[in-house]
Amino acid sequence: MAVGIFDSGLGGLTVLDAVTKRMPDVPFVYFGDNSHAPYGVRTADDIYDLTTRAVECLWDNGCDLVILACNTASAAALRRMQESWLPPEKRVLGVFVPLIEALTERRWGDNSPPRQVAVKHVALFATPATVSSRAFQRELAFRAIGVDVEAQACGGVVDAIEEGDLILAEALVRSHVDALKRKMPQPDAAILGCTHYPLMEQVFKDALGPAVQVYSQASLVSESLADYLVRHPKMHGAGQRSRFITTGSPRQVSDNATRFLKREIMFDPL
């Protein structure tokens, strides 16, 4: 009954932590492609190739359902995977869906025409690849009108988090928020469009100020996944145990993961 969680590195651990708390009886297999992180500066074809390789590994570990807990992979690879690569008995889901559901206050299956929503000015913080894909704006436009989205490519933040340099990560976040505010001085809401960014969520909130509602993905994804598994019980895979897999150095990745989640995490090599 295992479910796969994939990220280019450590960011997906924020999603893993939320889903394991929400569904403690479900085994989750986490795949971190740490040796190739960050994905946010790679080409779309490169991201697609790396993502499909990782998903196949999770299938081999008994996961028929895989969550791309990586906004870059969701933006650059997911649609192509679903249209031309995915076997009918498997499912791969991204992390944009729960976020846009929350922002527009409508269910994903609601195919009614786009309509006005309460939020008018949205700041999107994401990797360069996610920003250039415009995937968030495209999906949002299917469901809402009259929403102004200002995207800020947050170069260097993922690298600093992966390297454990949280002082640098905090400085970069504040710099990117300042850059966004020069383009959109008063956003109503802010989207943390990378699963690494919840590790810096309080820094984003402090820099943006109390008037800005910050949407972070981990809790939204956990509730959406729990609902999905109730509606699609056959997507529980055959895997029976939780494990952590990395393409990077297992010792280094384990140390960083343990520090971030404040509990011991042991990664196996791919």
Residues serving a catalytic function are: 70, 194
Residue 43, number of CB atoms within 10 A of its CB: 10
Say how far apart CA 136 and CA 129 lie, in whole Å.
12
232-235's contacts with Cβ under 8 Å and 24+ in sequence apart are 232/65, 232/91, 235/3, 235/64, 235/65, 235/91
Nearest CA to 29 out of 241, 253, 249, 260 is that of 241
Which amino acid, 60?
A: D
Which amino acid, 212?
A: V
Q: Is 74 helix (H, G, I), strand (E, B) or coil?
A: helix
- Give the DSSP H/E element, type plus range, for residue 48: helix 44-60
Nearest-10 crossing angle of helices 217-231, 96-104: 100
| Residues found in the chain | 270
Q: Residue 70 to residues 6, 93, 232: CA-CA distances in angstroms?
A: 7, 10, 22
Q: Is 215 helix (H, G, I), strand (E, B) or coil?
A: strand
Give the tokens for residue 179. Answer: 């850059």
Nearest-10 crossing angle of helices 201-208, 166-183: 40
- Give the DSSP H/E element, type plus range, for residue 139: helix 135-141
